[in-house]
Amino acid sequence: MQTDKIYEPLVSIILPTYNRYKYLDRSINSVLNQTYKNWELIIVDDGSDDNSFSFIKNYLNKFSKIRYLFHENRGAAYSMNIGMQNSKGEFITFLGSDDEYLENHLRLRIDYLSQNKSIDLLHSPAKIIGNKFVKDKYNLSKKIHLDECVLGGTLFGKTEVFKKLNGFKEVNYSPESEFIERAETDYKIEKLDYRTYIYHRDTPDGICNNI
């Protein structure tokens, strides 16, 4: 008896969201438009009470590579960890619910890591839409350029790294940079100058806009 082959994605994309249905078409479609196709998209709903599920359901019905998880509102770090725990890929990466990828985003990173197997984790600057400066987590009275920051959406690395470090901690600001600080002790990390992640700072309720 023939059975359907279980889909085994190489890349797990984790998209945490909370009351962002107005922006989800942009983020989800940027994944669907990737030139690299061996991925799964895990949408982690952090307790949305808007029309998010009704909107996402349309994608779930059409694309088997998209999965949906829901829990009560616990914050972005918790949602990223839930996605990580449910991932199937050899690599994990992220996407903000109001952000997007350029079409070669995944391909460039997969190609780079296939040629540099000793690298465990990548991050990169992004193309910024809106304010390019944020508060410095070490001194909230100071502003720094986003190119100096670790941007969570650009993290791309071996799944074992995320799982061995138990993912992200609940901190008030920038759980991604706290994660990198722990990771760099034991893992090889590289910052690439690939601006294929589009970071929308013009969303009114963005986290960095409310610190």
Given this model, what pLDDT does residue 171 score?
Answer: 86
Q: What is the CATH number of domain 11-203?
A: 3.90.550.10
Interacting residues of 108 by C-beta distance below 8 A, sequence separation 6+: 192, 194, 196
Q: Go through the chain and tell me how many residues it has.
A: 211
Give the C-alpha separation, 156 to 1, whole Å. Answer: 39
Helix residue spans in the chain (DSSP H): 21-32, 52-62, 76-85, 105-115, 159-164, 175-183
Given this model, what pLDDT does residue 140 score?
Answer: 83
**pLDDT mean over 33-60:** 97
Please say whether the beta carbons of 171 and 136 come within 8 A: no
Percent of the chain whose predicted confidence (pLDDT) is above 90:
86
How many Å from the N-terminal Cα to the C-terminal Cα in the chain?
A: 58
Please say whether the beta carbons of 103 and 33 come within 8 A: yes
pLDDT confidence tier of residue 67, bands split at 50, 70 and 90: very high
pLDDT confidence tier of residue 209, bands split at 50, 70 and 90: very low
Express each pLDDT in 160-176 by its tens digit.
999 999 999 998 788 99
Asked whether residue 1 carries a pLDDT value surpassing 80, the answer given is: no
Given this model, what pLDDT does residue 7 score?
Answer: 87
**pLDDT mean over 105-133:** 97
Given this model, what pLDDT does residue 210 score?
Answer: 43
Name the residue ranges covered by the structural domains of the chain: 11-203
Average model confidence (pLDDT) for the chain? 93
Given this model, what pLDDT does residue 205 score?
Answer: 61
Asked whether the whole model's pTM tops 0.85, one would answer yes
Please say whether the beta carbons of 113 and 119 come within 8 A: yes
CA dihedral 172, 176, 177, 180 (to 10 degrees): 140
